[in-house]
A and B are shown apart, each in its own frame.
Chain A
């Protein structure tokens, strides 16, 4: 795979932006409500543009683009709907771990999901069999196949088609955020057909899958924060209080300024996006910073809207819920902090 030129990247980004504003944003409420039909409808549109296989080369029906292009695309999609952007991230990351042979049998338009394992999850691998369970796997419900990353001293990635014997998925009906990437609890009982992927450490080309997930989640968080800022700014100009538009009140403009500051820091935080997915530690740090910023900005955005923002129909509280899930996925930020420090300690010891 190769990175696009600057002009190609701008074109891809513009295409994703257009799709987000024209097709995704108007469907965001329906996606948030968990509608499977609307998800399928959106997925068809994404597939038509090749956004399900951004990282794959043309042999496998992909666009042959690089990680930076994928991240830019995901950010734009997240402005329309964070959950859809997460579906795109999970599918691209999953497919990119598969071998040529495995990819050859994945039908066009299939939606796969990468499921990160986490410390403490009850998944075991022995004698060619997978056993155990995983809760709240984003994007797993309704997916055509899963790639499960196993954590631990010997990381491994396992590809499991949806119809694999012994695989049971149950939709997580309490999912609060990123609902267009429907979560499921996964029960695996001796799946003999689980196939190890080409790269046992879950590599995505030259990138690592966990780092890609974190960098992608950061891009989604940033897209959500952009949307929140845009909506809050527009509302603050339109809504009047005390005889003036509320943007004239310092109490409101202070919040909008803080959102703008957080957004302005993004290019520095996410500089060299292609390198981001190669550098696990930096991906962790960027994911922490971007998701914390998104939670702060979306919470402020709801505050700018006041009581109106607390109502589902305005769509602003959804951004807050979506942003919160970016803090919790692939792991809660405090665990990400912990991993960062573990790396730092290991580096010092070495």
Chain B
């Protein structure tokens, strides 16, 4: 099969990569080559077979592929280096996703959803390095890799839980009730990729159902907890290799230390996570389009039934249109990813304090006093303070808009290119038709997940056309949203958020001066 591997290096295509502090472009090239090899050897040969099987039994799952993916380094991309991972960010995940999705978007989504599950933990800073993240890395070495998932969507609330404004009016039915030592989680989450196979889930629920936006909180859930159940696995149109599950929570206990970041930081965390995850989703869409394009090129060259077609101008123009669309989609997602990594969040990971902490051996970090401090409220405040010092709400808003633009455009490109590819080959084309039909079915999801394309375009309006600045960073200091705190409220939507005391405005990311 012919492939449309770009002839230019990543540096030649995206000069900004070389300017991106902390990003090793040669390492990125090697990562891309590794992903391509894994996709070619393990994914594409099994893609149709897995699609058929999961079409009949949506709960079936191929752990062998996950193990192979772990060996190829596809699971630890986002895990910080101090926790044993690759220390990648949005750019690395996006580059890998394009490669994997050109082979099979469904299998790729297993790794993408895993990365999405990890991403909220990054906002928890060093306190997360030696817990679950280290356990995930260790599980890869044991050949029993653990997967993660991220649970946001609810049966009555989909796109609106991904937007802070819509969240205020969303029909949220889940609730995290405060109890001694932690929270009891109740409710249902729906369409959760990897939900039925994940060992750990980062999930968002309100601690006060009357004020979901203000009390939206991220929890790290152990799926072996009592009261947690997978109530169904959905039968999807496409991307079937990765199961989408409905999860029910019946008074599931989560200890207080398993709150990711801080109580009430969930809405801001969601915004940042989406800014991080939409470039990879755009890359998924780009990869799908590229996969369809490559298959058509291969068919034109190799199938006797297609003999002479490539001489037709109609076909040449259609192929040129595909090439054009894929090229532009790639430029968009790389621009969004590098913007995010460079200006919005990259500063946090490359901050000298964080890097210094990364050099401290895990054995020392794991000692009770250090661990206790890292998990303390003060350390969490310090992590948020570092986020404020490294970026700004405007930078994140702009980054979210660019990511949303790439995602919406990418989804449309995936639909157009796969549709055009299918039309070129027609019903009589033989085995290639089944592959293209699968990619076309797979492509539709990219216009829907991570917020519908319509919502994404409204983010573009807000962040670029209207140049708004969203409240997308957690506040510097947070007061518990308990009833006593109501006395401090001013009655608006941000009622329980206290303004920062002047003496804390200089909180340093190291926590040393706080």
Whether B444 contacts A334 by the Cβ 8 Å rule is no
Question: Would you give the shortest CB distance from B44 to chain A, in whole angstroms?
Answer: 16
Whether A241 contacts B160 by the Cβ 8 Å rule is yes
| Residue of A135, A307, A324 with most partner-chain B CB within 10 A | A307
Q: Name B428's contact: one of A134, A317, A320 (CB within 8 Å).
A: A134
How many angstroms from the CA of A120 to the CA of B429 in the assembled complex?
11
A241-B170, A325-B427, A327-B423 given as contacts; is B447 within 8 A of A311 (CB)?
no
Confirm or deny: B18 has a beta carbon within 8 angstroms of a beta carbon on chain A.
Answer: no
Nearest neighbor of B440 in chain A, beta-carbon distance:
A324
Q: Name A324's contact: one of B190, B318, B419, B445 (CB within 8 Å).
A: B419
A307-B448, A317-B237 given as contacts; is B423 within 8 A of A332 (CB)?
yes
| Residue of A118, A295, A324, A338 with most partner-chain B CB within 10 A | A324
Whether A303 contacts B423 by the Cβ 8 Å rule is no
Q: Which residues of A contact B236 (CB under 8 A)?
A: 310-312
Q: Name B433's contact: one of A174, A240, A251 (CB within 8 Å).
A: A174
How many angstroms from the CA of A335 to the CA of B429 in the assembled complex?
14
How many angstroms from the CA of A173 to the CA of B158 in the assembled complex?
34
Whether B427 contacts A328 by the Cβ 8 Å rule is yes
Confirm or deny: A299 has a beta carbon within 8 angstroms of a beta carbon on chain B.
Answer: yes
Whether B444 contacts A320 by the Cβ 8 Å rule is yes
How many angstroms from the CA of A215 to the CA of B290 in the assembled complex?
34
Whether A174 contacts B423 by the Cβ 8 Å rule is no
How many angstroms from the CA of A120 to the CA of B299 in the assembled complex?
15
Confirm or deny: A242 has a beta carbon within 8 angstroms of a beta carbon on chain B.
Answer: yes
A176-B437, A306-B159, A310-B236 given as contacts; is B422 within 8 A of A328 (CB)?
yes
A328-B426, A332-B423, A334-B314 given as contacts; is B444 within 8 A of A317 (CB)?
yes
Nearest neighbor of A317 in chain B, beta-carbon distance:
B237
Q: Which residues of A contact B448 (CB under 8 A)?
A: 302-303, 306-307, 309-310
Confirm or deny: B81 has a beta carbon within 8 angstroms of a beta carbon on chain A.
Answer: no
How many angstroms from the CA of A241 to the CA of B157 in the assembled complex?
7
Q: Mark B222-254, 1 if CB is under 8 A from A, else 0.
A: 000000000000111110000010000000000
Q: Which residues of B contact A37 (CB under 8 A)?
A: none
Count of residues in B whose CB is under 8 Å from the partner chain: 51
Q: Which residues of B contact A242 (CB under 8 A)?
A: 160, 165-166, 169-170
Nearest neighbor of B423 in chain A, beta-carbon distance:
A332
Q: Which residues of B contact A173 (CB under 8 A)?
A: 52
A311-B236, A312-B236, A320-B444 given as contacts; is B424 within 8 A of A332 (CB)?
yes
Whether A252 contacts B166 by the Cβ 8 Å rule is no
Whether A303 contacts B160 by the Cβ 8 Å rule is no
Q: Which residues of B contact A129 (CB under 8 A)?
A: none
Nearest neighbor of A254 in chain B, beta-carbon distance:
B454
Confirm or deny: A144 has a beta carbon within 8 angstroms of a beta carbon on chain B.
Answer: no
Q: Which residues of A contact B430 (CB under 8 A)?
A: 135
| Residue of B170, B424, B444 with most partner-chain A CB within 10 A | B444
Q: Which residues of A contact B424 (CB under 8 A)?
A: 332, 334
Confirm or deny: A321 has a beta carbon within 8 angstroms of a beta carbon on chain B.
Answer: yes
| Residue of A118, A310, A327 with most partner-chain B CB within 10 A | A310
Q: Mark A173-210, 1 if CB is under 8 A from B, else 0.
A: 11010000001000000000000000000000000000
Q: Which residues of A contact B48 (CB under 8 A)?
A: 174
Question: Would you give the shortest CB distance from B239 to chain A, in whole angstroms?
Answer: 9
How many angstroms from the CA of A251 to the CA of B166 in the assembled complex?
14
Whether A136 contacts B234 by the Cβ 8 Å rule is no
| Residue of B158, B415, B427, B452 with most partner-chain A CB within 10 A | B427
Q: Which residues of A contact B441 (CB under 8 A)?
A: 176, 321
Interface residues of A in 130-170 (CB under 8 A from B): 134-136, 138
Confirm or deny: A101 has a beta carbon within 8 angstroms of a beta carbon on chain B.
Answer: no
How many angstroms from the CA of A243 to the CA of B166 in the assembled complex?
8
Interface residues of A in 252-266 (CB under 8 A from B): 252
Q: Which residues of A contact B428 (CB under 8 A)?
A: 118, 120-121, 134-136
Confirm or deny: A313 has a beta carbon within 8 angstroms of a beta carbon on chain B.
Answer: yes
Q: Mark B409-422, 1 if CB is under 8 A from A, else 0.
A: 00000010001001
Whether A251 contacts B458 by the Cβ 8 Å rule is yes
Confirm or deny: B219 has a beta carbon within 8 angstroms of a beta carbon on chain A.
Answer: no
Confirm or deny: A73 has a beta carbon within 8 angstroms of a beta carbon on chain B.
Answer: no
How many angstroms from the CA of A350 to the CA of B287 in the assembled complex?
48
How many angstroms from the CA of A303 to the CA of B314 in the assembled complex?
30
Confirm or deny: A329 has a beta carbon within 8 angstroms of a beta carbon on chain B.
Answer: yes
How many angstroms from the CA of A306 to the CA of B191 in the assembled complex?
11
Whether A120 contacts B171 by the Cβ 8 Å rule is no
Q: Which residues of A contact B33 (CB under 8 A)?
A: none
Question: Would you give the shortest CB distance from B422 to chain A, in whole angstroms?
Answer: 7
Q: Which residues of A contact B437 (CB under 8 A)?
A: 174, 176
Q: Name A135's contact: one of B191, B244, B427 (CB within 8 Å).
A: B427
Question: Would you give the shortest CB distance from A348 to chain B, in whole angstroms?
Answer: 19
Confirm or deny: A333 has a beta carbon within 8 angstroms of a beta carbon on chain B.
Answer: yes
How many angstroms from the CA of A332 to the CA of B421 in the assembled complex?
11
Question: Would you give the shortest CB distance from B497 to chain A, in whole angstroms?
Answer: 22
Whether B447 contacts A251 by the Cβ 8 Å rule is no
Question: Would you give the shortest CB distance from A157 to chain B, in whole angstroms?
Answer: 19
Whether A333 contacts B423 by the Cβ 8 Å rule is yes
Q: Which residues of B contact A241 (CB under 8 A)?
A: 157-160, 166, 170
Q: Which residues of B contact A308 (CB under 8 A)?
A: 158
Q: Which residues of B contact A249 (CB under 8 A)?
A: 454
Q: Which residues of B contact A324 (CB under 8 A)?
A: 419, 422, 440
A307-B191, A328-B426, A328-B427 given as contacts; is B237 within 8 A of A299 (CB)?
no
How many angstroms from the CA of A310 to the CA of B454 in the assembled complex?
16
Interface residues of B in 284-318 (CB under 8 A from A): 305, 314, 318
A310-B236, A311-B236 given as contacts; is B314 within 8 A of A338 (CB)?
yes
Q: Which residues of A contact B453 (CB under 8 A)?
A: 303
Q: Which residues of B contact A183 (CB under 8 A)?
A: 427
A251-B454, A328-B422 given as contacts; is B427 within 8 A of A311 (CB)?
no
Question: Would you give the shortest CB distance from B377 to chain A, in whole angstroms?
Answer: 33
How many angstroms from the CA of A307 to the CA of B158 in the assembled complex?
8
Whether B314 contacts A313 by the Cβ 8 Å rule is no
Question: Would you give the shortest CB distance from A64 to chain B, in whole angstroms?
Answer: 33
Confirm or deny: A331 has a beta carbon within 8 angstroms of a beta carbon on chain B.
Answer: yes
Question: Would you give the shortest CB distance from B408 to chain A, in whole angstroms?
Answer: 11
Whether B169 contacts A243 by the Cβ 8 Å rule is yes
A241-B166, A313-B235 given as contacts; is B449 within 8 A of A136 (CB)?
no
Q: Name B235's contact: one of A312, A329, A335 (CB within 8 Å).
A: A312
How many angstroms from the CA of A335 to the CA of B309 in the assembled complex?
11
Question: Would you give the shortest CB distance from A165 to chain B, in whole angstroms?
Answer: 25
How many angstroms from the CA of A134 to the CA of B428 in the assembled complex?
7
Q: Which residues of A contact B452 (CB under 8 A)?
A: 251, 303, 306
Whether B440 contacts A311 by the Cβ 8 Å rule is no
Whether B160 contacts A332 by the Cβ 8 Å rule is no
Q: Which residues of A contact B305 (CB under 8 A)?
A: 120
Nearest neighbor of A173 in chain B, beta-carbon distance:
B52
Confirm or deny: B134 has a beta carbon within 8 angstroms of a beta carbon on chain A.
Answer: no
Whether B234 contacts A311 by the Cβ 8 Å rule is yes
How many angstroms from the CA of A248 to the CA of B430 in the assembled complex?
45
Nearest neighbor of A338 in chain B, beta-carbon distance:
B314
What 3 A-B pairs come out closest when comparing CB atoms? A243-B169, A251-B454, A174-B434
Pairs A–B under 8 Å by Cβ, sample size 23:
A135-B430, A136-B427, A136-B428, A176-B441, A240-B171, A241-B166, A242-B166, A242-B169, A243-B169, A249-B454, A251-B455, A251-B458, A252-B454, A299-B415, A307-B153, A308-B158, A310-B444, A312-B236, A313-B235, A317-B237, A321-B441, A332-B424, A334-B318
- B residues in contact (CB < 8 Å) with A: 48, 52, 153, 156-160, 165-166, 169-171, 190-191, 234-238, 244, 305, 314, 318, 415, 419, 422-430, 433-434, 437, 440-441, 444-445, 447-449, 452-455, 457-458
